[in-house]
Chain A
Amino acid sequence: MFSYNRLLFLIDHLIWGILVLVFVFFIFQSEYFLTERNISNILTAAAVLGVLVAGQTFVLISGNFDLSTESTLGLAALVGIWLIVPAGPTTFGGGIFMNPYLSIICSLSMGALIGYIIGCLITYGNMHNFIVTLAALLVIRGLMMAFTEGAPVSGFNNPSADVFYWLGHEKAFKLPGLGKISVAVLATGLVYIVCHLILKHHKFGRELYAIGGNRDAAEALGINVNRRIRQVYMLSGLLAALGGWMLAGRVVSIQSNLGETFIFTVFAGAVIGGVSLQGGRGTMLGALGGVLLLSTIDRGLNLMQVSVFWIKVIQGSVILVAMLIDAQRVRLKELSIIATSEKK
C-alpha cells in the first residue's frame, strides 16, 4: 500500500541506507577499504567533523545558523597551544608556559564565550544570525592571523602539549574489525550520546524544537527564547573549541588558516543527516549518519585515487542531492497533509 507517511519515514532514514550502499561500493573498488587501518581513519576523520556538526545541529534545530564555528575551532586550537609553548622560532608560542590543563580550560571557555557573545549580539542587538555569525567568521579568522603574524604555532614533540596529542592522536583501545579506536572517536561518541539525550529527553531540547518550529508560540507559552538562543550559540562555540582541541593534536603546527572552509562540510554533514535548514527538524542520530557518510566518501575516493578536483565535484554533488531530498521532504509533507485531510 502506498502511503506518504511511509515514504516520509523512508526519506528520514535514507541516510543509513545510502551509507551502507556507499560502503559496499568502496569495498568493491579498493581492497584497502575494509582494512582496520582505513576504518580507523574514517572514524578519526569523522571525529572532528562530528563535534562541529553536533553543535550546528542544535543551532539549526533552533532555527538559526552558526557560520563562525570553523574560525572558533581554529582560534581555540591556536590559543590552546600558544599558551603552553615557548616564544620564538620553531614553536612561536606566547612563552607563557601555562599548565596544559589550564590552557585547555581557557581554550574551551573561550569557545563558549565567543558563542555567548554571538548569541548576545543576535538577541540583544536584534541582528540576523546569518550576518552576525558571518561577521564573526571573518573577525575571528582575522584575529587568528594577527595573532600568529604568519608564523605557525607548533606544539609538536613538546611534552607539555601532550594533552592535545592525547585527544587528537592517542589510540584508546583496539576493537576487532574496527581497528584502533582513538580517544577522539570515543570523545565524539560521548558527545553524541549526551547531545542525543539533551535533544530527545531534556526540556532544553524540547524547547529548541519548539523555537525552531514556531518561535512565536514558544515565546507566548513562556519559553525564554532569547536565553535559549544564547545558550545554543554557547554550546556551539564550546563544541567548536573541543573540535579545535582534537585538531590541534593532529597537526604538526597550527597555521592561521586551520579549519578554513570547514564550515561547508559541517553544513553538508548536518543537512545530509536530515537536519532542516528551516529549523525544528533533525536528530543527532541523523546528523551522525551525515558525518559518517561524508568521511566515508572522502576516504573512499582518496583510496580510489580520484583526483582532488573530482573529489570536490563529488562532494558538491552530494550536498546538492541532499538538498534535493530535503526539498522533496518538504513537498512530500505537504502532499501527505493534503492526502490525510482529503481522507477525512
Chain B
Amino acid sequence: MKILELKNISKSFGAIHALENVDLDINPGEALGLMGDNGAGKSTLVKIVAGNFSPTNGEIFVAGKKTSISNPLEARNHGIEIVYQDLKLCNNLTASANVFLGREINSGFGFFSRLKHTAMNDRAAELFGELQSETRPHDVVERMSGGQRQAVALARTRLSDPKIVLLDEPTAAISIRQVAGILARIKQLKETGHAVILVSHRMMDVFEVCDRVAVLRRGNKIADKPIANTNPEEVTGLITGALEKA
C-alpha cells in the first residue's frame, strides 16, 4: 500500500500557480527524487505534505486514508518529518532547544508544566552522536558551521519514528564527506521501511540513492520514472525543457 498519495494537488499564491494538478505517490522503503528548475514548485510541494501550506486544490492520502494536513503538528502526528531547505533554525537558541522546538519535553501540565532541560539535552546529544556530528546540545546555533546547522535540522526528524521523511536540498551547503553521510542515512532510512522524498539539484545524489525520480517544471509534473529506466541526460533534458515530456 502507498504510504503517501497526492492527487491533483494545485497551489496558487495569488496569481502565481506554484503547482498545477500534481499527482505523486510513494511506497514504504522507497526513495523518490524530486527534481526541477528553481521555482518549479518542489519546496511548495513538500511544504504541503509537511502541513506548512494547505493546497488550493487536491487530496492527500496517508496510508490509504484521506487526510487533511492543516498544520505542521498534524503532519508530525501522521509520521511526517521534514528538513526544510532553509533549515528553519533559531539563531538565538541552543542546538538542543532548536531540535525540540515545538515539541519540548515537559513535566507537569499546562501552566504548571516545566521544561525538562536535562532530558532534552541528553536526547539531543544522543541524536547528534547517531548523526556522527560533533555538535553539542548547549552550543548556540548562531556560532555553528553549515554542517552543524544541518545536523540540528536533521536531528529533528529523528525525534519521532517517522514513516515519511522529506528532505529539501539537504546536501546543498555541506562538504563532500557530509554528503556521503547523508546519502548513507537515506539508504538506512529506506532499509528500515521509511519513505523518503529527496529534493535535490544534484543528479549524482539522486541517481545514487533514489528508486524513482519525478520532475517538476513550472508547477507541473512532467515525468515520474524508475531510476532504472532513465539516465542523467534524460532527466537534465526534462528539467531544462530540452525534452518536453517523458
Please list the residues of chain A having a beta carbon within 8 angstroms of any beta carbon in chain B.
Answer: 201-203, 206, 209-210, 212-214, 216-218, 220-223, 280-281, 333, 336-337, 340-341, 344
Beyond A209-B97, A220-B52, A220-B72, 9 additional contacts (C-beta under 8 Å) are A202-B113, A206-B115, A210-B93, A214-B92, A218-B102, A221-B101, A222-B103, A333-B142, A344-B145
Asked if B57 is at the interface of the complex by the 8 Å CB criterion, the answer is: no
Please determine whether B90 and A341 come into contact, CB atoms closer than 8 angstroms: no
Closest beta carbon of chain B to A134's beta carbon, Å: 26
Closest beta carbon of chain A to B16's beta carbon, Å: 19
CB contact under 8 A between A336 and B143, given known A221-B101, A222-B76, A223-B102: yes
CB contact under 8 A between A206 and B97, given known A213-B92, A214-B91: yes
Residues of B within 8 A of A333 (CB): 142
Of residues A210, A217, A333, A344, which shows the largest number of chain B Cβ atoms within 10 Å of its Cβ? A217
Closest beta carbon of chain B to A137's beta carbon, Å: 28
Please determine whether B88 and A221 come into contact, CB atoms closer than 8 angstroms: yes
Please determine whether A280 and B90 come into contact, CB atoms closer than 8 angstroms: yes
Please determine whether A201 and B114 come into contact, CB atoms closer than 8 angstroms: yes
- Bound Cα distance A336, B91 (Å): 14
- How many A-B pairs have beta carbons closer than 8 Å: the answer is 70
Interface residues on B, range: 20 to 34
Please determine whether B72 and A221 come into contact, CB atoms closer than 8 angstroms: yes
Residues of A within 8 A of B87 (CB): 217
Please determine whether B90 and A218 come into contact, CB atoms closer than 8 angstroms: yes
Chain A proximity mask over B58-95: 1 for CB below 8 Å, otherwise 0 = 00000000000001110010000000100111111100
Residues of A within 8 A of B143 (CB): 336-337, 340
- Bound Cα distance A6, B19 (Å): 50
Asked if B192 is at the interface of the complex by the 8 Å CB criterion, the answer is: no
Q: Which of B92, B103, B106, B142 contacts A209 (CB 8 A)?
A: B92
Majority SS at the chain A contact face: helix
Of residues A202, A216, A220, A341, which shows the largest number of chain B Cβ atoms within 10 Å of its Cβ? A220
The 6 closest A-B pairs by CB, nearest first: A217-B88, A213-B92, A213-B90, A222-B72, A221-B102, A280-B92
CB contact under 8 A between A202 and B114, given known A341-B145, A344-B145: yes
13 interchain pairs, CB-CB under 8 A = A201-B114, A201-B115, A202-B113, A206-B115, A213-B91, A214-B91, A218-B102, A221-B72, A221-B102, A222-B71, A280-B90, A280-B91, A340-B143
Q: Which of B89, B106, B114, B115 contacts A214 (CB 8 A)?
A: B89
- Bound Cα distance A231, B161 (Å): 33
Please determine whether A203 and B91 come into contact, CB atoms closer than 8 angstroms: no
- Bound Cα distance A280, B141 (Å): 13
- Bound Cα distance A87, B76 (Å): 60
Please list the residues of chain B having a beta carbon within 8 angstroms of any beta carbon in chain A.
Answer: 51-52, 71-73, 76, 84, 87-93, 97, 101-104, 106, 113-115, 117, 142-143, 145
- Bound Cα distance A218, B97 (Å): 12
- Bound Cα distance A156, B102 (Å): 50
- Bound Cα distance A341, B149 (Å): 13
Please determine whether B102 and A222 come into contact, CB atoms closer than 8 angstroms: yes
Residues of A within 8 A of B114 (CB): 201-202
- Bound Cα distance A209, B142 (Å): 14
Closest beta carbon of chain A to B149's beta carbon, Å: 12
Please determine whether A203 and B72 come into contact, CB atoms closer than 8 angstroms: no
Q: Which of A203, A210, A217, A280 contacts B113 (CB 8 A)?
A: A203
Closest beta carbon of chain B to A14's beta carbon, Å: 19
Of residues A203, A212, A280, A344, which shows the largest number of chain B Cβ atoms within 10 Å of its Cβ? A203
Residues of B within 8 A of A213 (CB): 90-93
Residue ID in chain B nearest A212 by CB atoms: B92
- Bound Cα distance A328, B51 (Å): 40
Q: Which of B88, B106, B142 contacts A203 (CB 8 A)?
A: B106
- Bound Cα distance A159, B114 (Å): 42
- Bound Cα distance A220, B168 (Å): 14
Please determine whether A203 and B115 come into contact, CB atoms closer than 8 angstroms: yes
- Bound Cα distance A223, B90 (Å): 13
Residues of A within 8 A of B113 (CB): 202-203
Closest beta carbon of chain A to B188's beta carbon, Å: 25
Residue ID in chain A nearest B142 by CB atoms: A337
